[in-house]
Amino acid sequence: MTWNNKASAVLVTASTEVDKSGASYYGEQTLHFLSVSGETALVQLQKNGPIYDVSWSPSSSEFCVVYGFMPAKATVYNLKCDPLFDFGTGPRNAAYYSPQGHILILAGFGNLRGQMEVWDVKKYKQVSKPQAPDATHFSWCPDGEHVITSTCSPRLRVGNRFQVWHYGGAVVHKQEVAEGTELWEVRWQNLPPGSFPQRAVRYQQEAGPLGSTQPPPTQAYRPPALRHLPPAERARLHEEEPAQNLRPGDKSLSKAALKNQKKRDNKKAAKQELKTDPPSDPAPVSNNQSEPSIGETETDKKIKNLKKKLKAIEELKEQQTSGKVLQKNQLEKLQKEDQLLQELKELQISL
């Protein structure tokens, strides 16, 4: 369960012990959005697999989810649970927003190699891709410019160290503990929010005193007899998906975004139909009659209109049972059900 900074919405991760689809032996996980105003929604994830991390933006207007079987996907959603940007797939299991909310770091720690992707959230453009192997702790500096990674005990009892680096990939400071000594914890000094203003993101990497943590490109081993030949295409275990913009109005909308957009359109259409009740159909005239038939009485028209409203209420109740969030005017219609039933009963008795 993760609340946003404004305490206006919460994200809840639900787990089931049994996966009915049979895709996973360990069950399945779902992510639910709940707001204090009563709105609820199921976040439509675009890949099957576990949910590794959920992180709110400091602005409380969007959140990032890292999910799916490796290589995992990472997607940013708005408060309507519509995807805004898909970062594609990669070796990651955590997401960290800067204190100012202008930079997002997607990282893969634990059993991964410590690869980090630094993204400009406003432009959704990648800034750098450093690597901090064997890191057991990560945290942002309150200035939103630097981060710290550390290898601490008891998670790892050898190679304990910490390093401070700029989000552009340059290592600013590095400290390794003496052999036989264990490092237990590393933390930034606590400062009140707003102590540092937001600065523009710099894409040009700054050279630090200790160089860069960005890993050099690696090449597969080639026997000496084959080194004079052009390199063959490397076989990949997984097809990597590129990042794509999914903001509303963008042409490349995903299936989940199209599904949510269709739901909103249907909701607007249903709301418009409930606002204006269609006029009652005139009584059918038989061709066999030589004289025009007598029209419906005023009581018959009222009964017909009441039945139509009750039918609409039944449809709203079915939608509410299926998990659909009803609008305020639709909830008011549900509250009038008893009154309409009483009126219908009185009219039927008077016939």
pLDDT over 70 (residue 253)? no
Q: pTM here?
A: 0.61
- 60-72 residues labelled b (16+ CB within 10 A) or e (exposed): bebbbbbbbebbb
Contact 132/118 with Cβ under 8 angstroms?
no
Contact 73/88 with Cβ under 8 angstroms?
yes
Q: What is the pLDDT of residue 291?
A: 40
| Calpha distance 295→304 (Å, rounded) | 14
User: Counting every residue, how long is the chain?
Assistant: 351
In this structure, are strands 28-35 and 116-120 parallel, antiparallel, or unpaired? unpaired
DSSP 225: G
Q: Which residue has the higher pLDDT, 256 or 332?
A: 332
| Calpha distance 43→38 (Å, rounded) | 16
Q: Could you read off the pLDDT of 263-302 as tens digits, one per residue? A: 667 777 776 666 555 544 544 444 444 344 445 678 888 8
- Mean pLDDT, residues 123-149 taken together: 89
- 160-185 residues labelled b (16+ CB within 10 A) or e (exposed): bbbbbbbbbbbbbeeeeeeeeeebee
Smallest CA-to-CA distance from 148 within 129, 171, 119, 117 is with 171
Contact 257/83 with Cβ under 8 angstroms?
yes
| Calpha distance 27→49 (Å, rounded) | 9
141-to-105, 189, 266 alpha-carbon distances in Å = 13, 9, 46
Task: Report the run of H or E that residue 173 belongs to, with start and end.
Answer: strand 171-176
